[in-house]
A and B are shown apart, each in its own frame.
Chain A
Amino acid sequence: MGMLDAADAAIRSLINPYYYGILVTIGINIVLALSLNLVTGFTGQLHLGHAAFMAIGAYTAGVLATRTEAGFWVAVASAAAAATLFGIIVGLPTLRLRGDYLAIATLGFGEIVRIALLNLDITGGPFGLRGIPRETNLPLVILVVAVTYLVLASLVHSRIGRALIAIREDEVAAAAMGIETTRMKVTAFTVAAAFAGIAGALFAFWFRYLNPSSFGFAVSIEMLAMVVLGGLGNLLGAVLGAAIMTMLPEALRTAAPAVAEHRMVLYGALLVVVMILRPNGLLGTSSEHGWLEVWLRRYRAAGRPANGPRGERHGAA
């Protein structure tokens, strides 16, 4: 880690600790948003329990670091492995089901994980897990972000990635083209879980204290909002979405504390509005129409019966 440490010293001499901390958080969120985008953006499966995989990674790393002699890299690798394992266990049964059941099943899984963390002894229950050493630094986070981005960019432009996008576009047609849809969805889900586990480990080694409330449903929703803001199925969008949504509350905290406190109201509205006006994400390609016109056009479309070869109802079959 010699080079990383040297880079870290250089960075620390340039920026103050507050911004340094924000940059680390942005990096961790980018890894989470990128990996969630693989499942929701590219494969088209609504996943509402991503924070649970982050939690599994964080607690695996945290427990190993506080109760054993395991070093940083062993802890990170174990975090990824544990999250992968849970990804397979949860993904195999639930991904056989139609998309909207997956949303509920992942939500339920997220809650079960949170409840388990609250009630187990090894996790410290509601008091949390303390005393994790600080091993995460900014160069390391940047390295992980870069690796995540490169792996996912390569994956989506491959045989597997095309199959995932095909499933999003039309699952029936994808199966007819010889794609083993369940297996492909589980693959995407598991890869995403692994990266979330790594992000969780980085989180544990940065904040040094873990509490189940850091991994609740609202956190999964924040990740979803990052992906939707940047654009479903857009990797660079997920990076920007994560960066914006990490910095925004920080900026609002001093400028408009009431808004910062109730930012979940905005996130909720954001999800609705983006889906209606800019389904490709706020940062995606803009439509030529004004927003009011688009919105009204959609009401007119809702009243008409479907026509044409395939309407816009794809995925509704």
Chain B
Amino acid sequence: MALLEVRGLTMQFGGLRAVDDVDFHLDEGEIVSLIGPNGAGKTTVFNVLTGMYRATAGTVTFCGRPIDGLRAHEITALGLARTFQNIRLFGEMTVGDNVVVGAHTRLKSGLLASILKGPATRREERAARERAAELLEFVGLKGMERARARNLPYGAQRRLEIARALAAEPKLLLLDEPAAGMNASETEELLALIRRLKERNITVLLIEHDMRLVMGISERIVVLDHGRKIAEGTPDEVRRHEAVIAAYLGASARAGH
């Protein structure tokens, strides 16, 4: 059974169809990329999947249950977390707190427990802190808990976003241009990080413009153009696909090969 099943997804803004009748699916443990030129509708797909927008038409099934129409926090609780293209950290909070906020749906203490802080609440807090430290180490930010998120360098902010999303214990992680603005060695580290996610049994859906990263890591690629799916397949298939070359790879493919 597919982990995520998207059928006939359509998102209309006024007169503009940002996403037009798109189908695709993800199997458990896969790394799949969503590519396409600017304005192809990739981020809009993410926003619909995570409940930020309500789709105009189409269905989204996650772990066998329909999630279209659910609110963002409900979808996160079901095990679908994301990062943002234009980094959206909680800037004034510490790095550690950012990650612990990511675990919000996995923690239980309500209003009274939060105020009274009984032993159960304190145990939960301690466990959350330890797990945050572990996740920060996983993304390469060991020992940075006390720094203020806004003061981190750019690449570190991107990795913090990943740690924060992982704290939500997702089955499926949506990464929106995680390599944007990174230099070659940072991108290399990111590649290794995404591979290690697979070991943790996390399925990844990736939006990325860095073709080396996309081709190097994806098991399958879905290509969007003007809101429509124009191709889908392995990196090799997509690389040779005529519509893709025309729409997207055209210029760089001719220049590079």
Contacts and interface: CB of A to CB of B under 8 A. Distances in A.
Q: Do A and B bind each other?
A: yes
Interface of A: 151, 154-155, 158-163, 165-166, 169-170, 172-181, 187, 191, 233, 309-310, 314
A177 B115 contact: no
B93 to A, nearest CB: 6
A165 B93 CA distance: 8
Interface stretch (B31-39, B84-92, B231-239): B84-92
27 contacts: A158-B114, A159-B107, A160-B110, A160-B111, A162-B97, A166-B90, A169-B92, A170-B88, A170-B90, A172-B52, A172-B88, A173-B88, A173-B89, A175-B52, A175-B73, A176-B81, A177-B76, A177-B104, A177-B164, A177-B165, A177-B168, A178-B72, A178-B73, A178-B104, A180-B71, A309-B86, A309-B87
What DSSP secondary structure best describes chain A's contact surface?
A: helix
B91 A314 contact: yes
Contacts of A176: 50, 52, 72, 76, 81-82, 84, 88
A169 B89 CA distance: 8
A159 B104 CA distance: 7
Given A154-B114, A161-B114, A165-B90, 12 more contacts: A158-B109, A159-B104, A159-B114, A159-B125, A166-B93, A166-B104, A170-B88, A173-B84, A173-B88, A175-B51, A176-B82, A310-B91
B121 interface: yes
Most chain A CB inside 10 Å of its own CB: which residue of B92, B101, B105: B101
A169 B90 contact: yes
Contacts of A179: 73, 101, 104
A247 B121 CA distance: 40
Contacts of B82: 176
B121 to A, nearest CB: 7
A151 B115 contact: yes
Contacts of B91: 169-170, 310, 314
Interface in B92-135: 92-93, 97, 100-102, 104-105, 107, 109-111, 113-117, 121, 124-125
B77 interface: yes
Nearest to B158: A309
B24 interface: no
Contacts of B125: 158-159
Nearest to A167: B90
A191 B115 CA distance: 11
Nearest to B161: A173
B46 to A, nearest CB: 10
Most chain B CB inside 10 Å of its own CB: which residue of A159, A160, A179: A159
A296 B93 CA distance: 28
A134 to B, nearest CB: 31
A200 B137 CA distance: 49
A151 B82 CA distance: 33
Nearest to B116: A154
A181 B121 CA distance: 22
B10 interface: no
Nearest to A152: B115
B100 A162 contact: yes
A99 to B, nearest CB: 16
Contacts of B110: 160
Contacts of B114: 154-155, 158-161
Contact of B72 (A159, A161, A175): A175
A176 to B, nearest CB: 6
- In the A-B complex, the 8 residue pairs with the smallest Cβ-Cβ separation, listed nearest first, are A158-B114, A178-B76, A178-B105, A169-B90, A173-B88, A175-B72, A160-B114, A309-B87
Given A177-B164, A179-B73, A165 B92 contact: yes
Interface string B151-181: 0001001000000110010000000000001
A166 B181 CA distance: 25
A187 B181 CA distance: 39
